[in-house]
A = this chain, B = another copy of it.
Protein backbone atom coordinates (compact mmCIF):
# COMPACT_ATOMS: atom_id res chain seq x y z
CA UNK A 1 0.00 0.00 0.00
CA UNK A 2 1.43 3.35 -1.01
CA UNK A 3 -0.80 5.40 1.25
CA UNK A 4 0.93 8.34 2.89
CA UNK A 5 2.35 7.44 6.28
CA UNK A 6 -0.29 8.45 8.79
CA UNK A 7 0.41 9.10 12.47
CA UNK A 8 -2.07 7.13 14.54
CA UNK A 9 -1.62 9.65 17.36
CA UNK A 10 -3.02 12.51 15.34
CA UNK A 11 -6.71 12.86 14.61
CA UNK A 12 -6.90 14.03 11.04
CA UNK A 13 -10.59 14.85 11.28
CA UNK A 14 -9.87 17.12 14.18
CA UNK A 15 -6.99 18.79 12.39
CA UNK A 16 -9.23 19.45 9.38
CA UNK A 17 -11.91 20.90 11.61
CA UNK A 18 -9.43 23.24 13.23
CA UNK A 19 -8.39 24.40 9.78
CA UNK A 20 -12.01 25.36 9.15
CA UNK A 21 -12.09 27.41 12.34
CA UNK A 22 -8.83 29.10 11.44
CA UNK A 23 -9.93 30.43 8.04
CA UNK A 24 -12.15 33.03 9.64
CA UNK A 25 -10.12 36.18 9.78
CA UNK A 26 -10.53 39.91 9.46
CA UNK A 27 -10.85 39.97 5.67
CA UNK A 28 -13.58 37.37 5.55
CA UNK A 29 -15.83 37.64 8.58
CA UNK A 30 -18.53 35.45 7.11
CA UNK A 31 -18.30 32.82 4.41
CA UNK A 32 -20.29 30.21 2.55
CA UNK A 33 -19.48 26.54 2.77
CA UNK A 34 -17.82 26.54 -0.63
CA UNK A 35 -15.64 29.49 0.33
CA UNK A 36 -14.55 27.81 3.54
CA UNK A 37 -13.72 24.69 1.56
CA UNK A 38 -11.62 26.66 -0.89
CA UNK A 39 -9.77 28.61 1.78
CA UNK A 40 -9.05 25.61 3.92
CA UNK A 41 -8.08 23.50 0.93
CA UNK A 42 -10.62 20.84 1.75
CA UNK A 43 -13.39 19.03 0.00
CA UNK A 44 -16.73 20.80 0.32
CA UNK A 45 -18.23 17.84 2.11
CA UNK A 46 -15.37 17.80 4.60
CA UNK A 47 -15.58 21.51 5.23
CA UNK A 48 -19.32 21.12 5.68
CA UNK A 49 -18.94 18.51 8.40
CA UNK A 50 -16.37 20.66 10.16
CA UNK A 51 -18.54 23.76 9.95
CA UNK A 52 -21.70 21.99 11.13
CA UNK A 53 -19.77 20.56 14.05
CA UNK A 54 -18.57 24.04 14.95
CA UNK A 55 -22.12 25.31 14.74
CA UNK A 56 -23.28 22.59 17.09
CA UNK A 57 -20.45 23.37 19.50
CA UNK A 58 -21.46 27.03 19.40
CA UNK A 59 -18.32 28.47 17.84
CA UNK A 60 -19.95 29.26 14.52
CA UNK A 61 -23.31 30.77 13.69
CA UNK A 62 -25.26 30.00 10.53
CA UNK A 63 -27.34 32.79 8.93
CA UNK A 64 -28.88 31.34 5.81
CA UNK A 65 -25.86 30.08 3.94
CA UNK A 66 -23.37 32.39 5.59
CA UNK A 67 -21.25 31.21 8.51
CA UNK A 68 -19.52 33.46 11.01
CA UNK A 69 -17.74 33.26 14.33
CA UNK A 70 -19.62 33.59 17.60
CA UNK A 71 -18.31 35.32 20.73
CA UNK A 72 -17.61 31.93 22.25
CA UNK A 73 -14.24 31.83 20.51
CA UNK A 74 -13.24 34.57 22.92
CA UNK A 75 -13.44 32.07 25.74
CA UNK A 76 -10.62 30.06 24.16
CA UNK A 77 -8.39 33.11 24.13
CA UNK A 78 -9.55 33.98 27.62
CA UNK A 79 -8.05 30.78 28.94
CA UNK A 80 -4.68 31.77 27.58
CA UNK A 81 -4.87 35.37 28.74
CA UNK A 82 -5.84 34.43 32.26
CA UNK A 83 -3.31 31.63 32.48
CA UNK A 84 -0.56 34.06 31.61
CA UNK A 85 -1.94 36.81 33.84
CA UNK A 86 -2.17 39.30 31.01
CA UNK A 87 -4.79 41.30 32.86
CA UNK A 88 -2.52 41.78 35.85
CA UNK A 89 1.02 41.77 34.53
CA UNK A 90 0.92 42.98 30.95
CA UNK A 91 -2.06 45.22 30.33
CA UNK A 92 -1.46 47.63 33.23
CA UNK A 93 2.15 48.15 32.16
CA UNK A 94 1.18 48.84 28.57
CA UNK A 95 -1.56 51.20 29.68
CA UNK A 96 0.67 53.21 31.96
CA UNK A 97 3.33 53.74 29.32
CA UNK A 98 0.73 54.43 26.67
CA UNK A 99 -0.77 57.13 28.82
CA UNK A 100 2.60 58.69 29.43
CA UNK A 101 3.60 58.59 25.77
CA UNK A 102 0.10 59.53 24.63
CA UNK A 103 0.13 56.75 22.08
CA UNK A 104 -1.11 53.19 21.67
CA UNK A 105 1.39 50.54 22.70
CA UNK A 106 1.21 47.03 21.25
CA UNK A 107 2.79 43.75 22.30
CA UNK A 108 3.36 41.20 19.53
CA UNK A 109 4.98 37.94 18.49
CA UNK A 110 5.45 35.85 15.36
CA UNK A 111 2.79 33.47 14.19
CA UNK A 112 2.88 31.69 10.86
CA UNK A 113 4.59 34.39 8.87
CA UNK A 114 2.54 37.20 10.34
CA UNK A 115 2.70 39.46 13.36
CA UNK A 116 0.25 38.32 16.03
CA UNK A 117 -0.85 41.08 18.38
CA UNK A 118 -0.85 39.80 21.96
CA UNK A 119 -2.09 42.87 23.78
CA UNK A 120 -2.72 46.50 23.15
CA UNK A 121 -3.13 49.53 25.33
CA UNK A 122 -5.75 52.00 24.36
CA UNK A 123 -5.08 55.50 25.45
CA UNK A 124 -8.10 57.76 25.26
CA UNK A 125 -6.78 60.64 23.29
CA UNK A 126 -7.71 62.35 20.10
CA UNK A 127 -5.46 60.14 18.00
CA UNK A 128 -6.33 57.68 15.30
CA UNK A 129 -7.37 54.13 16.01
CA UNK A 130 -6.35 51.40 13.63
CA UNK A 131 -8.96 48.94 14.77
CA UNK A 132 -6.49 46.25 15.71
CA UNK A 133 -6.96 44.26 18.90
CA UNK A 134 -5.30 41.41 20.69
CA UNK A 135 -5.43 38.48 18.29
CA UNK A 136 -5.22 40.61 15.16
CA UNK A 137 -2.59 39.61 12.64
CA UNK A 138 -0.67 42.11 10.56
CA UNK A 139 2.01 41.76 7.89
CA UNK A 140 5.58 40.92 8.76
CA UNK A 141 7.70 42.51 6.10
CA UNK A 142 6.60 46.13 6.19
CA UNK A 143 5.90 46.83 9.84
CA UNK A 144 8.37 47.82 12.52
CA UNK A 145 6.91 45.12 14.78
CA UNK A 146 7.51 42.49 12.13
CA UNK A 147 11.07 43.51 11.40
CA UNK A 148 11.95 43.72 15.07
CA UNK A 149 10.53 40.22 15.51
CA UNK A 150 12.64 38.92 12.65
CA UNK A 151 15.63 40.58 14.26
CA UNK A 152 15.01 38.42 17.31
CA UNK A 153 15.55 35.26 15.30
CA UNK A 154 18.92 33.86 14.19
CA UNK A 155 19.80 35.45 10.86
CA UNK A 156 19.34 32.28 8.83
CA UNK A 157 15.95 31.59 10.30
CA UNK A 158 14.77 35.14 9.77
CA UNK A 159 15.64 34.77 6.10
CA UNK A 160 13.76 31.51 5.93
CA UNK A 161 10.64 32.93 7.55
CA UNK A 162 10.72 35.93 5.27
CA UNK A 163 11.20 33.76 2.21
CA UNK A 164 8.09 31.78 3.14
CA UNK A 165 6.07 35.00 3.34
CA UNK A 166 4.55 36.83 0.44
CA UNK A 167 5.59 40.43 0.32
CA UNK A 168 2.67 42.54 -0.82
CA UNK A 169 3.02 46.17 -1.69
CA UNK A 170 1.01 48.27 0.75
CA UNK A 171 2.30 51.67 -0.24
CA UNK A 172 4.65 53.13 -2.82
CA UNK A 173 7.39 53.07 -0.23
CA UNK A 174 7.11 49.41 0.74
CA UNK A 175 10.42 47.69 0.20
CA UNK A 176 9.95 44.94 -2.37
CA UNK A 177 13.20 43.00 -2.22
CA UNK A 178 13.74 40.44 0.54
CA UNK A 179 17.41 41.41 0.64
CA UNK A 180 16.57 45.04 1.36
CA UNK A 181 14.19 44.00 4.10
CA UNK A 182 16.72 41.67 5.69
CA UNK A 183 19.18 44.53 5.67
CA UNK A 184 16.76 46.60 7.75
CA UNK A 185 16.25 43.62 10.00
CA UNK A 186 20.00 43.33 10.53
CA UNK A 187 20.15 47.02 11.31
CA UNK A 188 17.35 46.61 13.85
CA UNK A 189 19.23 43.74 15.45
CA UNK A 190 22.35 45.87 15.82
CA UNK A 191 20.60 49.00 17.03
CA UNK A 192 18.15 47.25 19.35
CA UNK A 193 15.18 49.06 17.87
CA UNK A 194 13.37 49.43 14.57
CA UNK A 195 11.72 52.36 12.86
CA UNK A 196 9.68 52.02 9.69
CA UNK A 197 8.17 54.86 7.72
CA UNK A 198 5.16 54.76 5.39
CA UNK A 199 5.73 51.17 4.28
CA UNK A 200 2.46 49.83 5.67
CA UNK A 201 0.27 52.94 5.89
CA UNK A 202 1.29 56.10 4.09
CA UNK A 203 2.37 58.89 6.42
CA UNK A 204 2.55 56.63 9.44
CA UNK A 205 5.79 55.83 11.22
CA UNK A 206 6.14 52.66 13.27
CA UNK A 207 8.50 52.05 16.19
CA UNK A 208 9.43 48.77 17.86
CA UNK A 209 11.79 47.40 20.49
CA UNK A 210 12.49 43.85 21.72
CA UNK A 211 10.92 42.64 24.95
CA UNK A 212 11.98 38.99 25.18
CA UNK A 213 15.47 38.07 26.29
CA UNK A 214 17.91 37.16 23.50
CA UNK A 215 17.57 33.57 22.31
CA UNK A 216 14.00 33.21 23.53
CA UNK A 217 10.92 33.31 21.37
CA UNK A 218 10.92 36.90 20.13
CA UNK A 219 8.38 39.26 21.66
CA UNK A 220 8.35 42.95 20.81
CA UNK A 221 6.59 46.13 21.85
CA UNK A 222 5.78 48.91 19.46
CA UNK A 223 3.68 51.90 18.58
CA UNK A 224 2.89 54.00 15.56
CA UNK A 225 2.06 57.63 14.86
CA UNK A 226 1.63 60.05 11.98
CA UNK A 227 4.97 61.53 10.98
CA UNK A 228 5.25 64.79 12.88
CA UNK A 229 7.28 67.90 12.28
CA UNK A 230 10.27 66.70 14.29
CA UNK A 231 10.80 63.06 13.33
CA UNK A 232 14.06 62.67 15.26
CA UNK A 233 12.71 64.07 18.50
CA UNK A 234 9.57 61.95 18.24
CA UNK A 235 11.59 58.83 17.56
CA UNK A 236 13.87 59.41 20.50
CA UNK A 237 11.02 60.07 22.91
CA UNK A 238 8.91 57.11 21.76
CA UNK A 239 11.76 54.63 21.58
CA UNK A 240 12.93 55.63 25.03
CA UNK A 241 9.39 55.07 26.34
CA UNK A 242 9.09 51.71 24.61
CA UNK A 243 12.45 50.62 26.05
CA UNK A 244 11.24 51.46 29.53
CA UNK A 245 8.04 49.57 28.92
CA UNK A 246 9.96 46.57 27.60
CA UNK A 247 12.35 46.60 30.55
CA UNK A 248 9.45 46.63 32.96
CA UNK A 249 7.77 43.70 31.23
CA UNK A 250 11.04 41.80 31.27
CA UNK A 251 11.55 42.45 34.95
CA UNK A 252 8.04 41.31 35.75
CA UNK A 253 8.81 38.12 33.80
CA UNK A 254 5.50 38.72 32.14
CA UNK A 255 6.40 37.20 28.80
CA UNK A 256 9.03 34.59 29.56
CA UNK A 257 7.17 31.42 28.75
CA UNK A 258 5.27 32.19 25.61
> Which positions in A face B, CB cutoff 8 Å?
9-11, 13-18, 21-22, 24-26, 29-30, 48-50, 52-54, 56-59, 68-88, 91-92, 94-96, 98-99, 109, 111-112, 116-118, 120-124, 129-137, 258
Contact = CB atoms under 8 A, between A and B. Distances in A.
A70 B74 CA distance: 14
Given A129-B88, A133-B91, A73 B69 contact: no
| Interface-centre pick from A58, A70, A78, A118 (highest chain B CB count, 10 A) | A78
A134 B73 contact: no
Contact of A71 (B49, B87, B136, B258): B258
A13 B10 contact: no
A13 B11 CA distance: 7
B79 A69 contact: yes
A158 B88 CA distance: 33
Nearest to A74: B135
B9 A49 contact: yes
Given A122-B121, A133-B82, A75 B111 contact: yes
A82 B50 contact: no
Contact of A13 (B9, B14, B24, B84): B14
